[in-house]
Amino acid sequence: MLDISNLHVTVGAKEILKGLNLKVNEGEVHAIMGPNGSGKSTLSKVLAGHPDYAVASGTIHYDINFKPKNLLDLAPDERARAGIFLAYQYPVEVPGVNNAEFLRAAFNAICRDQGVEEMDPLDFDSYLREKIQFLGMDAKFMDRQLNVDFSGGEKKRNEILQMAVLAPRLAILDETDSGLDVDSLRLVSEGVNKLRSDSNAVVLITHYQRILSYIVPDFVHILANGQIIKSGDKSLALEIEERGYDWLLN
Partner 1 sequence: MNQVSPASQAAVSFASAFAGFSRDRAGDAAWLREHRELAFADFVQIGLPTRKHEDWRYTSLRSLTEGAFSLAPQDVVSAEVLAPHVQAGDITLVLVNGRLVTPLEQLGDLPTGLLIAPLADALSVNVPAALRLLKRYATAQQPFSQLNEAFLGSGLFIEWGPRVTCERRIHIIHIGSGKDRLVTLPRHMLVLGSEAKGEVVETFVSSDEGTTSFTNTVTDIELAAGAQLDHQRCQLEAPQALHIGRVRAELAAAAKLTSLSLSAGAKLARIDIDIGLAGQGSEVILNGLYLTREGQHVDHHTVVDHQVPNAKSRQLYKGILDGVSRAVFNGVVRVRRDAQLTQAYQMNRNLLLSSDAEIDTKPELQIDADDVKCSHGASVGQLNDDHLFYLTSRGLPPTEARRMLVQAFADDVMLHAPRLHATLRPLTMGYFL
The site for partner 1 (CB under 8 A) is made up of 48-51, 75-77, 79-81, 85-86, 88, 91-92, 94-97, 102, 105-107, 109-110, 113, 145, 162, 166
* 36 in contact with ligand ADP (CB under 6 A): yes
Task: Please select the residue that binds ligand ADP; options are 42, 99, 176, 209, rule is CB under 6 A.
Answer: 42
Q: What is the closest distance, in whole angstroms, from the C-beta atom of residue 174 to Mg ion in the complex? A: 6
Q: What is the closest distance, in whole angstroms, from the C-beta atom of residue 87 to ligand ADP in the complex? A: 13
13 binds, among Mg ion, partner 1, ligand ADP, none (CB under 5 to 8 A by kind): none
- 77 phi and psi angles, rounded to 5 deg: -70, -35
Rounded to whole angstroms, the Cα distance separating 109 from 92 reads 21
Q: What is the closest distance, in whole angstroms, from the C-beta atom of residue 52 to partner 1 in the complex? A: 9
Q: What is the closest distance, in whole angstroms, from the C-beta atom of residue 156 to partner 1 in the complex? A: 15
In the chain, where do the E strands start and end? Answer: 2-11, 14-24, 29-33, 53-64, 67-70, 84-87, 170-174, 201-205, 219-224, 227-232
The pairing of beta strand 219-224 with beta strand 227-232:
antiparallel
Q: Which residue is nearest to Mg ion (CB)?
A: 41
Size of the site for ligand ADP (CB under 6 A): 12
* 16 in contact with ligand ADP (CB under 6 A): yes
List interacting residues with Mg ion (CB under 5 A). Answer: 40-41, 89
Instruction: Name all contacts of 67-73 with Cβ < 8 Å and 24+ positions apart.
Output: 68/3, 71/47
Q: Give the contacts of 57 (CB within 8 A, at least 6 positions apart).
A: 6, 7, 8
Rounded to whole angstroms, the Cα distance separating 193 from 136 reads 15
Q: What is the closest distance, in whole angstroms, from the C-beta atom of residue 116 to partner 1 in the complex? A: 13
Q: Residue 43's closest CA among 62, 24, 22, 25?
A: 22
77 binds, among ligand ADP, partner 1, Mg ion, none (CB under 5 to 8 A by kind): partner 1
Q: Which is nearer to partner 1, 170 or 220 (CB)?
A: 170
124 binds, among Mg ion, ligand ADP, partner 1, none (CB under 5 to 8 A by kind): none
* 176 in contact with ligand ADP (CB under 6 A): no
Q: What's the N-to-C CA distance of the chain in angstroms?
A: 33
DSSP-derived 3-state class of residue 58: strand
Q: Which is nearer to Mg ion, 84 or 110 (CB)?
A: 84
The residues of the shown chain that bind ligand ADP, judged by CB under 6 A, are: 11-12, 16, 34, 36-42, 52
